Amino acid sequence: MKHVFSRRLILTGLFITALVAQFFMPMLLGKVSAASLSNSYIRLNRMKTGTDSTMRVVFKTASAGATSLTVDLNGTDTGTARWTDAANNGTVNGTQAVAGVSGCDVTATALPGSPTASAATSVITVTGFTALSATTLYCFDLTTSNSVHNPTTAGEYHPTITETVGASDSQTVAVRVVSNDQITVNATVPPTFNFAISGCASNTDAFTTNLTAATHTSTSGCTITINTNAKNGWYAWAKDSNVGLTSTIAGHTIASVTAGSQSDLNTTHGTEGYGLAITSISQGGACAGTCGVTSAVTAYDSTATGGVNGLVGGVDGTLRNIALSTGIANAATLTVKERANINVTTPAATDYTDLLTVIGAGYF
């Protein structure tokens, strides 16, 4: 009876043990099995088929302690879907350079320490970094220009990131290889040339005082502003309609000095003379490239002494080049004035006038 009872106790114990194992073993196994990484992505810096690419890897740890990890480009793919399958011709470079990067658009921590990397077949192994913390987002770049060579077959691939020393967490992500990952952008910048006269009301430039034989007199001046993207610069020309200041009332013209040549009215007071002067130049603002240098043509240049002297250039019915620039211009400006001398016998009249035509052109 004792033997029978003992056998029953043993059998009952074994049965209970089996029940315990059946219900609790999966839970025990679950506690020791690897956890999953999260918040992960692999960024191919070129997605085009058959193209070399660098790579960025981001992952969030579950456990602490990892000091090594792998990135398997074949991952969970099988058959012809694999990155390195002969039909796809994707490869992984055996030589790899790696750098921890902070930020990475997701506020990640740079992979710490001094990581190094190498590869074999489809697997890139990163080692040498200091132990990772738990539940921390990390980022690193594989910076070798041909870290991977993308498959020639467009499609979705499923590489796996796995911690291999100190932890065994992993996650499979999806990456896409496409036929073309670039957009060609076309644009046209048209040639531009803007030439404006301002600074004199209604484009009327009156002499500041009545003309006198005692000294030369100047007008208030007008401003010419030039904007252009002409790479070779621009030119400005001037001509007049009367070859001097003409009065209908008096039937008299205060003649221009020799056209295209410079005269100094300051040295010829009491002798009739008339002409045009550029009294100041501003090179303008910054340019998209190197701004051109604006200058006055010598015959009309009265900028050296701030425009206080009596230098003028003669004008007539022919367009005479008065200023130019060597390149593009952003609001380059010229101040243009007219100056005159008279004789003590110059007929009196209130209608002395001239009509100047001032034009410009971009030199494209």
Q: What is the pLDDT of residue 39?
A: 97
Token digits of residue 250 = 């008096």
> Over its length of 364 residues, how does the chain's per-residue pLDDT go in tens digits?
344 445 444 444 544 444 444 444 433 433 334 689 999 999 999 999 999 999 999 999 999 999 999 999 999 999 999 999 999 999 999 999 999 999 999 999 999 999 999 999 999 999 999 999 999 999 999 999 999 999 999 999 999 999 999 999 999 999 999 999 999 999 999 999 999 999 999 999 999 999 999 999 999 999 999 999 999 999 999 999 999 999 999 999 999 999 999 999 999 999 999 999 999 999 999 999 999 999 999 999 999 876 678 999 999 999 999 999 999 999 999 999 999 999 999 999 999 999 999 999 999 9
User: What CA–CA distances, in Å, run from 278 to 12, 89, 297, 341?
Assistant: 118, 71, 9, 17
Q: What is the pLDDT of residue 306?
A: 66
User: What CA–CA distances, in Å, run from 332 to 42, 198, 268?
Assistant: 52, 13, 33
The residue behind tokens 């600074």 is: 199
Token digits of residue 293 = 């240098």
Which ranges constitute the DSSP H helices of the chain? 2-32
Q: Is 23 helix (H, G, I), strand (E, B) or coil?
A: helix
CB 59 within 8 A of CB 137: yes
Q: What is the pLDDT of residue 35?
A: 87
Strand 109-110 and strand 137-142: the pairing is: parallel
Q: How many CA atoms lie within 13 A of 319 on its CB side?
A: 9
With 0-12 / 13-18 / 19 or more C-beta atoms within 10 angstroms meaning exposed / middle / buried, residue 260 is: middle
CB 127 within 8 A of CB 145: no
Q: How many whole angstroms separate alpha carbon 132 and alpha carbon 162? A: 13
Q: What is the pLDDT of residue 308?
A: 74
Q: What is the pLDDT of residue 161?
A: 98
